[in-house]
Structure 1
Amino acid sequence: LGATIPADAPDDPWGAEKRATGSVDVGVLCGALLPAATSAQLLQRVETLVARPVDPRIGVALEGLLRAVPFTSNGARGNLATIFDAVGRLALRDPRFVGLVATLDTDWDVRPAQKEWMFKRWAKVQEAIDRHWPTVPRVDDRSTLAELLASLEDEPAAPDTVDDLIARVLADPHEDAPRLVLLDALLEAQDPRGELMALQLRGVDRERQDALIAEHGTTWLGDIAPFVRVTRWRLGFPDAGEVEVRHPRDLTRIATHPLWRAFSEIQVDGDKVDVLGPLFDHVAPTLRGLGSFGPLLATMVPGRPWPALRRLEVRVTARLAAEALAAHPLPALQVLSVFGDDLTWLSQAVWLPHLR
């Protein structure tokens, strides 16, 4: 990689690239991948390289980054996951990553709990890589590798659009790393949502945050705006809200709207909960908090998985509903608010030991 960097390379190659996209040789960018001023800057650089036409120098740089472990704290696991996934996308065009997991133990010199998480998270990516390359191409030198990769390349990947970046946020709504990449793009475009995200990230100027939400919130909510009153925004996206859908026909256009996945908590109208089944199916994999003052919610929690649900507020008035709820696995449940005349069924709940 170093041998490919020309002597007249700019002192700030990534700054030059930002000012004029495509103006800096990819080898120069790879050589300047580290250090980065912020984690968001590093993640944006990684995404930029992965979006470039295939080049063996990109593989060299990202393998080096993967081995270097640029983030080691628990709070930065989202950043590591973003890097892992980016490497996974690159590896579909570069076979150097086949079987890489067997060589990472020495490089990943971090505390045991963090190493365990890293290997578990990387295993998902490694499995996809190894499945994509059932046989490992034999490559004896750099020119052969370049020829091989060139033969795999179709069209150069188009730069990510804002819609692409938003889709990544909603695909992994509890991780901050995709939001930080989006934040950079929005600030560069002078988008007001980027201003809101920056203010919320720093935890400052609540008055300005409220003004931005009041002016643009309905636009950001799009089709779901008439059916939810947002009570909390987090890093530019709705995070908690009260949902009210009065008729099943309303669900035909909004039940599976991608933006529902941004909500970590929802409160639902007590009288019409029974029409929300399709919405619950959509949000159940990621929702962390759910509540209703009416009795119908207790009948709708069983029958669908809630792997991330931490808080549940529910009224239980029927014995059959109570028994079904008690027997339904809620592996992440920590906080329960339950109302009803007979709560003896709680002692049989399979999730009771998890409660705080």
Structure 2
Amino acid sequence: MSSGALRIAAEALEEARRADALDALLEAWRETPAVEIAELIDRLSAEIDRALPPIGAKTQKGLHEAWLDTEAQGRAVDLPRLAAAIERGNGPMIRERFDRLFQRPRDPRVSTLALRLCASCVATRSVAFPMWTQIFKVLTDGRDVRARAGLEGAARARRVGSPTFMEMFHKREKEVAEAMAAWPEVTLDGATLEEVTRLGGLVDALARGPAPDAAEILATRAKARVSNAGTGDIAALFAMVYEAPDDDARRAVLADALEEAGDPRGELIHLQLRGPLPPKLERQVKKLVREHGKAWLGPLEPYVEARDRVFARGFLEECTLRIRTKQARARAEALPEWATVRTVRGVTDASILHAPAFRHVRAATLESSRELARLSGHDVPVAIRALHMRDASPVAPEDRASIARGTGLPSLVDLTVSPFRRGGLELPNIVRGEDWAWILETPLGARLQRFAIVDAPIYARGIDVADFARAARASFDARGAAPTIASELSHWSHRIEVRDGTAFAVVTPRNVTAAWMPSLLESLANLRHGDIASLTVERSELVRDDDRVRLVERVRGVCELVLA
């Protein structure tokens, strides 16, 4: 193995720079996951942890926020106290913490935590099974050879769990054990073993002395998250991209420099700048992002969810935010790397979109109508063009006026409303026209080119076309055009579109189910003669004969029916 990381660790220990030594030892272990290095990491980690205060708060929510804020800073020194508090909270909190912690780079201490959970974690309901998938994946990918014996002991100690859980547990345990058996043996050569032993003596010497200074240790930031820009000329080229993220020429110059330096990100930038790619190159792009995407997030990594990350032209372009505390938000807003991000989801406080760091965002998902009101009624505009609001409940009267103003969203042309909300579902029985059609008659609605209602698949009953027809006609009369109005039902999606003030169209889904026509007919239930001039059914060949008959009967005497 390379002696570079161990040499850095030795220098740091001799100068009592414990946090730097821990980072170096983890780097050495990831290169060569030997038992001796893992045990040295444990000893140094325990020495550091005696100086750090436990994570705590007066309330469960306060503790959760403190935990998330500590983890977001990405310091290796925090892992023992994060692990100690990981099960203190309700189910969703615990699962979120697992998700965050298990996204970290390989660390033998995380494998130790996974073994502890295998033995004693009481979260065994089926809703927690995805968490257990992560736990077993950590053990499989962790390559901590000590886990071979540890897994067998944890399985014997496991006493809590339903028959269904225990069946799943033992099946996964067997799979992980088989994967572990295939790991190659890792041994250190004599010189390296001697150096590791010497480093152990330095750790023991520190442990016999006074506790380290907590403030000094906590001032250490995670090196991998400080910057993904490199140093010198390459750092300057990254800065140029962030200054003008729409300038592809700058990205191309950076890509040349990265490729010359042997950095695979240069290849990614060049490939994605080419536009549509043949399947072989598209697979290469996916491979590069899969292998290096997390590292390329750089300092943004603590503030975005692992899912839904999209790279475009070599940089992060779409993500779901993971910013839960004021401290985390303050740190996030100071990062220039947000400049390449165009779409953000999971916005619980829309004021973040006014932060200079987010000035290039053009699409966002909001978690409530209150946040839409704050954006739309704001005196300072943002350049958002598309919004998805995951709250289809009626808008509070005090928020209607703010939404109607539209002064804060002068560029908005696409608005989608759905009942799906973060942390679970709150499903109305129907998305009623009177709850939302009024938007089309406001200054905000007058600028929309598309307005969509996405109904929940279980309770979906569709929009009331009559209400929307009246609103669309008013919008058309005012500006000579009407937005596309879409009523999209998950799984049996039908889309009702306004082609002008009085001509409506239904786009038949490619996979028509028995529930589709009843939902459509209910959307048309209140139509009267004169509400709309025509209804066009596109892809009508997909509509079953009996459904076509029912639709003809429904609109007879109401409007012209066109089967296209």
TM-score, normalised with respect to structure 2 = 0.32
Work out which structure has the larger RCO, using CA pairs closer than 8 Å and 6 or more positions apart in sequence: 1
Larger radius of gyration: 2
